[in-house]
Structure 1
Amino acid sequence: MGVSLRKIIGLAGLFCLLTFAGLNTTFAAEKAGGEGEAFSPGDMITHHITDDYVWHFFDGHYGTLYLPVILYTDNGLEVFSSSNFYDEHHEKVAYGNYMIDHGHIKTLDGASVLDFSITKNVASMLVSIFLMLLVFLSIAKTYKKNPGEAPRGMQSFFEPIILFIKDEIAIPNIGEKKYKKFLPFLLTLFFFIWFNNLLGLMPGGANLTGNISVTFVLAFIVLIVTLASSGKAYWQHIFAMPGVPKPILLILIPIELIGILTKPFSLMVRLFANITAGHIIILSLLSLIFIFESVWIAPASVAFSIFMNFLELFVALLQAYIFTLLSAMYFGAAVEEAHH
């Protein structure tokens, strides 16, 4: 059974309305919580797009998840709840020899500390990994149970996407002979980015793929896979390009070597910038309601915010596709055989 377009549009609309409701509730709570203080959109936006040691789902004590803090110091391993860094008014306070300063835990006496804490982004990543395992292990089990039968349920939704990545991304860019060893990685890469892009748009969601550390690691893994898979022809086109005079090689070789690093760098920055920009735009539009404090601003602000939410649903899929496509192109260039 296929998934009808009407269902997809309905779910997307509900998704956007829930996102707006969650953001609006949070804004109202922040506005009401700071009596006598001017609303600061910059502080609010920064708070929502950066990592944290607590995870806010909605206002109130029961809407906050205090995450575990794991530190390694000269005294050994220390594990405690991040709730110790906040008082009853949710103001930051020092705990023992530690304090949170600009999103990082530091010691009061200046001693070194290694931070292995489960932050909001780490917790969100674990949630996305659990969802991916739940979905794809269930699909694999169904395939084994009903081999050769028409897809049903989640199969009917994910199978066209998997076949699209195989037939339109992996095979054309890597080749019919060598695509199979890269396909599992490309599928994992695509769905990991897509799932986390969508989770970041949900009320209370973490901005995981808008964290440059995360996009750096993804791009670095792509670089390692590319270099590890590269053959003789790949390096020959860098250090001894056929038909190019040797004096010209002195110019082209440094450019090609720099190009090896700029390709993953572009992957890192593109994903980070697009996802973060979308969050900032939506939050900025909703901030206009509290900046102007006018009922006339609210309809336009809400309308544009809902439109941006729909657009971000498309961007979430598009950025996963672009990252996967470019990765496949880099792999294809690495394993391409020499042409004589």
Structure 2
Amino acid sequence: MGLAVLAADDNQFHPPSVGDFFPPALFFEGTIFEFTRINLAQVIATVVLILFLVLGTRRLRVVPGRFQSVVELLFGFVREQVVYQILGERDGKRFLPILTTMFFGILFMNLTGVIPGINIPGTSVAGVPLLLALTAYVLFIYAGIRKHGGLRFLKNSLVPSGVPVYLMPVIAVVELISTFIARPVSLFLRLLLNMMVGHMMLVLFFAATQFFLLNMDWFTPLAAGTFALGFAFTLFEIFVYILQAYVFTILTAVYIQLAVAEEH
């Protein structure tokens, strides 16, 4: 399962570590095509997402069945509560496909963290959150330049209206850092660190359960306690997975809205 577990040779408990996010290669070890358990999680999440969308939309009915209802509910949530609510219908229609893809992609990648045998989110290594953050950044820049042109977009982003002339250089530097550096970095770190910390907490609870149950019989009540905490935290993590997909997508929509606004 890739969890930090008891080492058989020394009978000592080994807590989770950053090493969990650098699992041994499954295929092509030592090459640029090295394939690990985390890559497997990403592939599984992608395949399941494609099947979910294809099977849920290939035979649409006026009176939807249960599966179609679930798919439509999720699509409707992203469209109405995330995209249209922030961008409005006109701008929202332009960015709805990519924002919907972003939401579902993050959600399904996150959920691999609770799949038995994988037990690690596909977003818990830097590559995927970084790619998503760069995508959000490119969308922000593209939306602003297309709406206002390059110079006007840069002026709106760096110098808010009403700023005194003598403060413009200072404000421009502050806005440059906060708008063009802090935003993508915060998107990247928020998703990555939430997934890393959540995985390590789950590892800690279940590794402790294994340790107490298999090696310290008189601590069976503690094993039951850590297992209960692990189960409860698993449910909490599922909520966090959904929340992080929502937060990342809605922040991307907010940044796009700020880019297309007349003034900040």
Q: Given the two structures, how large is their TM-score scaled by the length of structure 1?
A: 0.68
Equivalent residue number for residue 8 of structure 2 = 34
What are the within-5 Å matches in structure 2 for residues 101-140 of structure 1? 105=30, 115-140=32-57
Confirm or deny: 8 A CA contact 2:21 2:125 kept in the other structure.
yes
| Aligned mate of 1:68, from 27, 34, 40 | 27
Within the alignment, does 1:210 sit opposite 2:93 as a pair? no
Consecutive unaligned residues of structure 1, counting only runs of 5 or more, are: 1-21, 55-66, 70-81, 83-104, 106-113
Structure 1 counterpart of 2:161, one-letter code: P
1:261 maps to 181
Aligned partner letter, 1:267: L
8 Å CA contact 1:41–1:284 kept in 2: the answer is yes
Query: Is structure 2 residue 243 aligned with structure 1 residue 326?
Result: no
1:50 aligned residue:
21
1:123-162 to structure 2, matched below 5 A, reads 123-143=40-60, 146=61, 149-162=62-75
Aligned sequence identity (%): 26
Shift of 1:37: 4.9
State the alpha-carbon separation in 2 of the partners of residues 245 and 237 from structure 1: 15
Quick one: structure 1 residues 52 and 190, their matched pair in 2 at CA, closer, same or farther if it must change by over 3 Å? same
1:338, CA displacement in angstroms? 4.9
Task: Give the match for residue 313 of structure 1.
Answer: 238
Aligned residues: 252
Provide Cα deviations, 1:199-221, integer angstroms capped at 9, x if missing partner: 12111223321112321111011
- Aligned partners of 1:129, 1:207: CA distance in 2, in Å? 12
Whether the 8 Å contact between 1:51 and 1:120 is mirrored in structure 2 is: no
1:238 offset after TM fit, Å? 2.6
Could you tell me how far apart the structure 2 residues matched to 1:211 and 1:135 are?
24
RMSD: 2.3
Amino acid at match of 1:261: I
Mapped pair 1:297 → 2:222: yes
Alpha-carbon distance in 2 for matches of 1:121, 1:282: 16
Q: Partner letter of residue 243 of structure 1?
A: G
Greater per-residue strand proportion: 1
Equivalence for 1:169: 82
1:296, distance to aligned residue in structure 2 (A): 2.9
- In structure 2, what is the Cα distance between the partners aligned to 1:264 and 1:150? 42
Counterpart amino acid of residue 243 in structure 2 = L
Query: 1:279 offset after TM fit, Å?
Result: 1.4
Q: 1:186 maps to which residue?
A: 99
Unpaired runs of 5+ residues, structure 2, are: none
Partners in 2 of 1:287 and 1:333 — Cα distance?
45
Alpha-carbon distance change, 51 to 303 in structure 1, aligned in 2, over 3 angstroms: same
Structure 1 SS opposite 2:89: coil
Partner of 1:281: 201
The alpha-carbon distance between structure 1 residues 46 and 244, as it changes in their structure 2 partners (threshold 3 A), is closer
Q: Determine helix, strand or coil for the equivalent of 2:12.
A: coil
Equivalent AA in structure 2 for residue 334 of structure 1:
A
> Counterpart in 1 of 2:163?
244
Q: 1:262-283: CA deviations, max 9, x gaps? A: 1111111111111211111122
Measure the CA separation in 1 of the matches of 2:170 and 2:240. Answer: 38
Q: SS at 2:256's partner residue?
A: helix
Q: In 1, distance between residues paired with 2:158 and 2:231?
A: 52
Given that 2:156 and 2:263 are in contact with CA atoms closer than 8 Å, whether structure 1 keeps it comes out as no
Larger Rg: 1
Match of 2:143 in 1: 229
> More helix by proportion, 1 or 2?
2
- 1:201 is aligned to 114
Tell me how far apart the structure 2 counterparts of residues 288 and 129 of structure 1 sit (CA, whole Å).
32
- SS of the counterpart of 2:91? coil
* TM-score normalized by the length of structure 2: 0.86
Task: Check 1:239–1:197 CA distance in 2 against 1; reply closer, same or farther (3 A cut).
Answer: closer
